[in-house]
Chains A and B, each alone.
Chain A
Amino acid sequence: MDLVQIARSNLEGFRYAGTEVALCVLIVALLLSGVILPFRKNRRLFLIISMLGLALAMTASLKQPGAGKGVRYFADLFLWDSFSVFFKLFFVAAAAFTILMAQMNREVEDYEFNECCLLVVSVTLGMVLLASSVDLLMIYLAFETMSLLSYLLVGIRFREARGGEAALKYVLYGAFTSGVMLFGFSLVYGLAGTTDIMEIGRILNSAHMAGQNRALFVLMVLFFLAGLLFKTASFPFHIWCPDVYEGAPTPVTAFLSVGPKAAGFAVFIRLFYTLFAREVGDQGFAAIEQVDWPAIVAVISAITMSLGNLSAIHQDNVKRLLAYSSIAHAGYLLMGIACLDKLGLEAVAFYLVVYLFMNLGAFAVVTAVNNGEGGEDIRFYRGLSARAPMACVAMAVFLFSLIGIPPFAGFVGKVFLFSAVILKKYYWLAIVAAINTVISLYYYVRLIKAMFIDQAEVSFEPRVSGVSYAVIGALALPTLVLGVYWQPLAAFIESIF
């Protein structure tokens, strides 16, 4: 491409980059309104600005590309296809719920709220770019945009012991793993001589590579996995997860458990299904011959879910409990990636949507209980149903959905995942996942029992505001509806792969 073509491509690209532009405008708007306007402590103002900006971003990403492989834009660094549109919508929605939760949360001080919104929107920008970029350089930059700013979000409570520890652990693990992943990128680049992942995919999957050295491919796959498993909080890079989730302010924790995790899965699918696999027939993919990475992912998936669920059993801190539960869910989601067919990917995307609602919902209730004199310990949940019945019922809905009990959305998501795994004849993995579901029943129900059956241990008056109820309700509704009427979402997701 010569310079004129590139300039034209950069200009025309804005037609497809509505979401990114809207988010950038929102960042600037938040920054300026925080500096110029005399109401720095006015949470409502920043909330309204953020919601308007995110609504704009949402509408900008609604436009669907038609059939075919999508459009390359911004000098071929980005791809506009249904896959990226789906994830853009997902991330913007996650950001909107996070800011709503932060607004009602007392852990984020009034004078910090503006910056908190700004950081959440910037992380979202990173995730949106990540979902649509198809160039190793851009993928890495978007990945780091997302990571660096989420370290800062965790570090909002830096001066408090727990917050500082969480932020430091997150930075150190994150820097290490993304460095390793970058090394993997460099190996791929050295072998293919280009950073365009579609092109690299063609080269790596060509017959010409067949006799190529296996050790190099194993290293490449392992190095890529390091960065991706860290982001998705999977074994063996899950150790940071409970401490970071506990130390960060609850809305940030909720955001991390959904946003960057889903971004990790998005880039996982994009990289592995483009670089290390090729499409075969209508529904399937074939992994490259040199390394059997689906088997590696399947084993990691089994270990991750077992570790997450077994460690969750003895947790008394609800945030830690949800952290381990989020590790376990990363394991379930990895099952779908290991399937190596479109059914598995659809199951992952569907489960991510369901997970967005149920997990954010559970954290929204935790945020509400945290306000006032409440806390994160299970003590505060004992006998809570007498004082905050609606919140407890909603929490029970979210937890039952996380277990995967009908008629909630989590059940449908698990059915899709399990059926994809069984159709692929990974019977051992399905059995491990089933056992894990039973284990998870124990600790989720323990929390439900505490809320509804146990006697109150600490008497405090939970102050659940109207906004909190609205947010919790807005999250509980899809958890219920998707459990009985999932067809439209399933059809939409079928169209993206």
Chain B
Amino acid sequence: MKNFAFNVFVIITLIPSFWVALSSNIVHAAFSLFFTFFGVAGLYVLLGADFLGVLQVLVYISGILVLIIFGVMMTQRAQMEHISTRLPGRFAGAVLSVLVFGGFMVAVYKTAWPKLTELPEPVPTTSEIGNLLLGKYLIPFEVASVLLLAVLVGAALIVRQSVRKE
């Protein structure tokens, strides 16, 4: 049953991601991304990371993706604008991708990864994550907030500049 679910989620993740990369219509690409994100959320849940899965749905699908689609709709000429997916050096890119993919396959299958002998029962992770964020990872958490503060200031700086110019 779990294997079946895994395969379904992998298909949901992989196949639309080809559209994301190859489609020249930016709206199609954005909608394909929706399925990819959803599939990844499913994979997280299968791995027992329930909180991460929910966060993936909340942040990536309802936050970032909607932002992308709004961004596309708000910009004028969205319907006409066909982004070019033809890159110079496509051949070299293809060769490189195949090489990287082959490298991954060899690396993943030939390595003796440290494995658990049996899968533990899935437990809710939310409280555990909360403990870590206010315990061991308190300082990184604070650093992230300083980073966000500085990014806000910088973003305001760039926007205000364009307002001043007009």
Contacts and interface: CB of A to CB of B under 8 A. Distances in A.
Given A115-B153, A159-B161, 18 more contacts: A3-B131, A3-B135, A6-B135, A27-B146, A75-B136, A75-B138, A77-B137, A115-B157, A119-B150, A119-B154, A122-B147, A149-B154, A155-B158, A158-B161, A159-B162, A215-B107, A215-B111, A216-B107
Contacts of B120: none
Interface string A186-201: 0100110100000000
A213 B107 CA distance: 7
Interface in A59-88: 74-75, 77-78
Contacts of A159: 161-162, 165
A157 to B, nearest CB: 8
Contacts of B143: 129, 138, 141-142, 145
A479 B26 CA distance: 53
A149 B151 contact: yes
Nearest to B166: A159
A383 interface: no
Contacts of B18: none
Given A149-B147, A187-B107, A213 B154 contact: no
Contact of A1 (B136, B156, B161): B136
Interface string B34-63: 000000000000000000000000000000
Contacts of B150: 27, 118-119, 122, 145, 149, 152
B139 to A, nearest CB: 5
Contacts of A24: 146
Contact of B157 (A6, A126, A156): A156
B161 A112 contact: yes
Interface residues of B, number: 34
Given A118-B150, A159-B161, A219-B103, A10 B155 contact: no
Contacts of B156: 115
Contact of B151 (A10, A137, A152): A152
A156 B159 CA distance: 10
A314 B92 CA distance: 29
Interface residues of A, number: 46
A3 to B, nearest CB: 5
A219 B107 contact: yes
Contacts of A107: none
A376 interface: no
B124 interface: no
B162 A219 contact: no
A242 interface: no
Interface in B116-166: 131, 135-140, 143-144, 146-147, 149-151, 153-158, 161-162, 164-165
A215 B110 contact: yes
B111 A212 contact: yes
B88 interface: no
Contacts of A77: 136-137, 139-140
A454 interface: no
Contacts of B154: 115, 119, 149, 152-153, 155
B139 A215 contact: no
B152 to A, nearest CB: 10
Given A159-B161, A193-B114, A7 B135 contact: yes
The 7 closest A-B pairs by CB, nearest first: A152-B154, A122-B150, A216-B107, A215-B106, A213-B110, A213-B111, A115-B157
22 contacts: A7-B135, A10-B138, A27-B149, A31-B153, A75-B138, A77-B140, A118-B150, A119-B157, A122-B146, A138-B143, A141-B140, A141-B143, A142-B143, A145-B146, A148-B147, A149-B147, A159-B162, A193-B114, A212-B112, A215-B103, A216-B110, A218-B103
A125 B146 contact: yes
Interface string B11-51: 00000000000000000000000000000000000000000
- Centre residue among A6, A13, A190 by max chain B CB count within 10 A: A6
